[in-house]
Structure 1
C-alpha cells in the first residue's frame, strides 16, 4: 500500500521563482493537451469500481503503465519525491512536483529519472536528467503546506518513448471528479516508518467532497488550495517518499488528467484521515505562466 505523512523540509537555501509570461490558461491547455498526453502504451490494471475498489489499493503497477511518473533524487539519495511530466506550449516536457520537496534547494542538486519501474534495475528506457531551473510557488507555506506546487525545468529535452510520455493537465474543477476513483502512484514506504518500495505502486482512491475533507481533517484542510481522497476506514493512501507524485483521473476523452499533487496526511492512510493533495485546477494560471517561461 502507498501511504502520506506531513513532513517538514529541512533543506533551506533560497527560493527560485519564474517570471510570468502572460500565457493564458486556455492557450496552455490547448497546447499541452492536444498533443499526445495522458495515454499509455502499456495498459494499466483495470480500475476498480463500486464497493470492491477498497480492497485493491497498494498493488504493484503494470511496468511503465504510468509513463508520466518520474523519480526525484536529491544529491546521492535513491528517492526523495515523486513528480509528473507535463507538456508546455513550446513542446517541452517539464516536471510538476510538490514545493515541499524542492523549496530552498539548488537545481544542481537534483536528478530526475524517467522510464523507471524498479528503482534497483537499469531499465531499457530509463534515463537521468539534470534540473536547470526550480520554480516554487511564491505563496508556498511550509508551515501549512499551502500552494504546495513547483515546476522543474530540465537541462536537456526529455526523449519520449513507450515508457516516457506526459500526462494531460485537467481543465475541470475538482467538483467534477467527486466520487470518482482516481489513481495515486509512487515508490514511497509501504507502511509508516517502513522501507521504500522498489517497484512502482498504485492505489485507487475516491475523490471526496470538500465538506467531507473538512469534517474529517479539520482546519488544516484549506479548500482554496487542496483536495482530499481516500477511504475513511483507512488502509490505502500515500506515504513518505510519495510527496510530489500525481493524483490522476481518467477523463471523458479516454486520457488521464493530473488533478492533484501528493502533499500531506496524518500518518500513512490512517482511519478517518483521507490524504491531502494540492488541487491542480486552482493553479492552472500559475502553471500556464511558469511552465513555458
Structure 2
C-alpha cells in the first residue's frame, strides 16, 4: 500500500472485495494486520518513498476471488504509452461520491522525460515514480490511494507496477497532471528484505 495511507488507527485488510456496500460479500474475508512496515525513508513533505507493506496475521487461502499479485523485476521501467489499469473505490469524479463497486480505468504510462517537463509535473516527479494518464478524462482520485497500477506482460500475466500516490489539487483528471504512482520495481530489494526477515 502507500505510506501516506498508514496512520495510528487500527486496520483490517479485506480480501476478495468487489462491492463495499455488501458487508458479507461471498468470497471475501477480513484479516487483521500482524505488522505494518512503512518505508524507512518515507518523506511526507516531498511525497518520496510512498510505500508500505502489511504483514497479515494469518495465512490466506487462495480462491476464485483471492489471488496473489505479481510484482515486476527490479529496476524494470515501462515504456511511454504502455497500457496499465488503475483500480479502486475512490471518488468517481473530482469532488464526487466514493464508489461502492470497484472501478477501473485504462491509464497509459507517461514517460519520465515527458512527466518531468515543467508544464507537466516538473521536479515533483522522480525516477522512483510512474506517471500514467494525463489526458484530462480518466485518472485515479481521492480514495484510490495505495491501490495498484496493473500492467500486462507479453505472456498475459499482470504485474503491479505502481501504487497510487498523488494527483493534482486542481482536479483528479486535470490535463498534463497524470496520476502519480510509487514505482514498485524501484523497491523490490526493500520489499524482499522485509518479507524474508519477517
Bin of the TM-score, shorter chain as denominator length: over 0.9
Aligned to 1:175: 77
Partner of 2:140: 238
Within a 5 Å distance, the mapping from 1:139-178 to structure 2 comes to 139-171=41-73, 173-178=75-80
CA-based RMSD of the aligned residues comes to 1.3
Normalized against structure 1, the TM-score is what?
0.63
Shift of 1:219: 1.6
Q: Give a deviation string over 1:69-108, Cα, whole Å, max 9, x none.
A: xxxxxxxxxxxxxxxxxxxxxxxxxxxx000001x425xx
For 1:262 and 1:214, locate their aligned partners in 2 and report how far apart those are by CA, in whole Å: 18
Q: Deviations over 1:47-76 (max 9, x none)?
A: xxxxxxxxxxxxxxxxxxxxxxxxxxxxxx
Is the Cα contact below 8 Å between 2:74 and 2:188 reproduced in 1?
A: no
Work out whether 1:131 is the aligned partner of 2:15.
Answer: no
Greater helix proportion = 1
Q: TM-score, normalised by structure 2?
A: 0.92
Shift of 1:178: 2.7
Q: Which residue of 1 aligns with 2:114?
A: 212
Query: In the alignment, does 2:192 pair up with 1:288?
Result: yes
CA distance in 2, matches of 1:248, 1:177: 14
Q: 1:248 aligns with which of 134, 143, 150?
A: 150
Structure-2 separation of matches of 1:154 and 1:203: 28
Kindly tell me the number of residue pairs found equivalent between the two proteins.
Answer: 192
What stretches of structure 2 of length at least 5 have no aligned partner? none
1:116 aligns with 2:17: yes
Task: Identify which of structures 1 and 2 has the higher relative contact order when contacts are C-alpha pairs closer than 8 Å and 6+ apart.
Answer: 1
Structure 1 moving runs of 4+ over 3 Å: 172-177
